[in-house]
Amino acid sequence: MKTFQAHLDILPEAQRELWNKLSPCGALGFVLYGGTAIALHLGHRVSNDFDFFSRLPLSEAMEKKMLESMPFLKMAELLQNELDTRTYRTTEGVKLSFFGGIAFGRIGEPLLTHDGILQVASLKDLLAMKAAVIMKRVEAKDYRDIAAILRSGTSLSEGLSGACAIYGDRFPVIESLRTMTYFQGGDLDQLSENDKKTLIEHTKSFKLDDVKQVKILSHDLSEPGSATAC
């Protein structure tokens, strides 16, 4: 499994202190997604939460394994307890969300942080997900994340082609493109001019022919054979 140099400096102190205790996640089948995953790749902003995804259902047996291997969760406040979803807030104020039964698969290979603590989704998968997220909520951090991924070299073609593979051929590519450059509502007034410029330039040069057929590499989000031991 490939590794990458994670930007651990973007983690607030409470998250950084919790970091090593998260090592069982990989063996349990969890991969880090969301803004913190992108920030660990690129180091472009501070991110406060951990969002873990797994194809495995979040059953009682899985929850028992989680609590046994990460005992700090026993002392955490359970904020959400629903089917295939558990959200905790630790005594230090760190929010962790675990989502099971995620069956949409992945188009890239997850990477292992350089210290072997977590499996983190690929930038292609993260861009595909953000392309969908911005149509459901209006938050500057999502636009900031997309702009940072595009500047890093992952293309809009990869992200939108991946979104079509993950979410199906009916994924609204045009709507996603329009949303990327509609800077109204929410806290989008906080978006930097540089981020706006990046988004406008990439969407303007994008053609629908740039959407390619992309295969789902695996419906298992993690790489079980490369997972760190509990």
pLDDT at 180 over 80: yes
Helix (H) or strand (E) holding 68: helix 60-69
pLDDT at 226 over 80: no
Cβ-based neighbours of 148, under 8 Å, separated by 6 or more? 38, 42, 44, 45, 195
Q: Which residue ranges make up each domain of the chain?
A: 3-122, 124-210
Q: Give percent of the chain with pLDDT exceeding 70.
A: 97
**Beta carbons of 181 and 133 less than 8 angstroms apart:** no
User: Phi, psi (5° rounding) for residue 204?
Assistant: -65, -35
pLDDT at 133 over 90: yes
Angle between helix 34-42 and 140-152 (nearest 10): 40
Write down the pLDDT at residue 227.
40
pLDDT at 7 over 50: yes
Report the mean per-residue pLDDT for the chain: 96
* pLDDT tens per residue across span 39-77: 999 999 999 999 999 999 999 999 999 999 999 999 999
Average pLDDT over residues 133-159: 98
pLDDT band at residue 4, thresholds of 50, 70 and 90?
very high
E strands present in 20-84: 31-33, 49-53, 77-82
Average pLDDT over residues 148-161: 98
Tokens describing residue 88: 């905790």
* pLDDT tens per residue across span 68-116: 999 999 999 999 999 999 999 999 999 999 999 999 999 999 999 999 9
Q: 3-122, what's its fold?
A: Beta Polymerase; domain 2 (3.30.460)
Write down the pLDDT at residue 169.
86
pLDDT at 230 over 50: no
Quickly count: other Cβ atoms within 10 Å of residue 119's Cβ: 27
pLDDT at 229 over 70: no
Average pLDDT over residues 1-16: 97
**Beta carbons of 45 and 10 less than 8 angstroms apart:** yes
Residues 17-49 as b or e (16 or more Cβ within 10 Å = b):
ebbeebbbbbbbbbbbbbbbbbbbbbebbebee
Distance between start and end Cα atoms, the chain: 17
Q: What is the pTM of this model?
A: 0.95
Instruction: Report the phi/psi class of residue 80: left, alpha or beta, with left for phi > 0 and alpha for psi in -120 to 50.
Output: beta
pLDDT band at residue 224, thresholds of 50, 70 and 90?
low
pLDDT at 206 over 80: yes
Q: Half-sphere exposure of 216 toward its Cβ, with a 13 Å CA cutoff?
A: 15
Tokens describing residue 230: 């509990």
